[in-house]
């Protein structure tokens, strides 16, 4: 099974011992790590190594003081990719699991799509929140574990009508959140009619010809894994400085939400081009942007 570290150009890493070796090398190579104090006895350190433009390996360590001893453990060593797109969101919430796993939960401002992602700038986030900073947006990237390039859909008049209805739905959802009771009934009726229409079309058509795009969570919140289908509107290529492996960086249009997705060239099926669609499984990770 592929892991995120493979996506950014480390295909040779297969086992946990390989990850531990890489983590130890980065800790020894890099300079002073960022640090934050969780309690009197426990602190977190982060060492970051740049391996391609906007692309890093991040090592997170815990430092626990017990009596006069200092115990250091490697908690995480993973791919970290900075987004070049700032996503405007509403109602950012933070979900924590233990001391070292933080997830952001938010809603994209325009498409009203819910996003759950693993927070990589943990030390920076905790330090700034403690200084009174507030979230203003997020930068999210999908690290693809596998992917396929597929043809775009042929837009019929009915499809164009449905595309226009997506914008109408976003507006209706906003009215619903503001307390409009009439819109609740309308949304329920629209959902019922849409489900009925999809079931009818599935009798004679393939799902990928019915749905132009989707963004579906696959596992629980603690994994932030999504099934993604979107139209490619921009393509870039990055080289890993150490291994020379190449990765594609796609900007996808997913029902009017823009999302950057990164995939190793060796992990994709098909030849990507603008206008084609990307179908794959992505681990969502990113950063919370803060200001005073």
- Residue-wise pLDDT for 9-44, tens only, equals 999 998 889 998 999 999 888 767 888 888 888 899
Cβ neighbors of 149 (< 8 A, separation 6 or more) are 268, 269, 270, 271, 272, 273, 276, 277, 278, 279
Per-residue pLDDT at 248 exceeds 80: yes
Residue 238 lies inside a defined structural domain of this protein: no
Residue 170 lies inside a defined structural domain of this protein: yes
Residue 184 lies inside a defined structural domain of this protein: yes
Residue 11: how many CB atoms within 10 A of its CB? 16
The total of structural domains in the chain comes to 1
Percent of the chain with pLDDT over 70: 79
pTM: 0.82
Per-residue pLDDT at 102 exceeds 50: yes
- State the chain's mean pLDDT as an integer: 83
Per-residue pLDDT at 215 exceeds 80: yes
Per-residue pLDDT at 172 exceeds 70: no
> Which among 202, 229, 207 is positioned nearest to 218, based on CA atoms?
229
Per-residue pLDDT at 189 exceeds 70: no
Residue 41: Cβ-neighbour burial (10 angstroms; 0-12, 13-18, 19+): exposed
Q: What domain range is 179 assigned to?
A: 157-206
Residue 215 lies inside a defined structural domain of this protein: no
Residue 289 lies inside a defined structural domain of this protein: no
Q: Highest mean pLDDT: which of 86-100, 140-154, 210-224?
A: 140-154
Per-residue pLDDT at 157 exceeds 50: no
Residue 166 lies inside a defined structural domain of this protein: yes
Residue 173 lies inside a defined structural domain of this protein: yes
3-state class of 152 per DSSP?
coil
């Amino acid at each position: 099974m592929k892991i995120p570290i493979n996506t950014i150009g480390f295909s040779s890493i297969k086992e946990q011992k390989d990850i531990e070796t890489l983590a130890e090398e980065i800790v020894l190579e890099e300079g002073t790590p960022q640090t934050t104090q969780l309690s009197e006895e426990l602190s977190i350190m982060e060492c970051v190594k740049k391996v391609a433009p906007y692309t890093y390996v991040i090592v997170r360590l815990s430092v626990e003081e017990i009596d006069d001893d200092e115990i250091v453990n490697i908690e995480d060593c993973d791919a970290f990719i900075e987004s070049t797109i700032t996503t405007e969101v509403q109602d950012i919430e933070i979900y924590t699991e233990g001391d070292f796993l933080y997830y952001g939960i938010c809603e994209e401002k325009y498409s009203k799509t819910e996003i759950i992602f693993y927070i990589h700038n943990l030390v920076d986030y905790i330090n700034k929140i403690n200084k009174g900073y507030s979230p203003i947006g997020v930068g999210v990237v999908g690290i693809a574990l596998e992917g396929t390039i597929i043809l775009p859909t042929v837009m019929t008049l009915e499809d164009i009508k449905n595309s226009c209805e997506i914008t109408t739905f976003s507006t209706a959802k906003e009215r619903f959140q503001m307390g409009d009771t009439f819109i609740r009934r309308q949304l329920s009726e629209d959902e019922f009619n849409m489900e009925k229409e999809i079931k009818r079309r599935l009798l004679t058509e393939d799902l990928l010809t019915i749905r132009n795009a989707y963004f579906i969570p696959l596992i629980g919140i603690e994994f932030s894994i999504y099934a993604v289908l979107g139209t490619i509107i921009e393509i870039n290529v990055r080289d890993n400085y150490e291994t020379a492996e190449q990765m594609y960086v796609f900007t996808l249009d997913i029902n009017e939400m823009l999302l950057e997705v990164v995939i190793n060239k060796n992990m994709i099926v098909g030849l990507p081009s603008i206008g084609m669609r990307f179908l794959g499984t992505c681990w969502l990770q990113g950063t919370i942007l803060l200001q005073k």
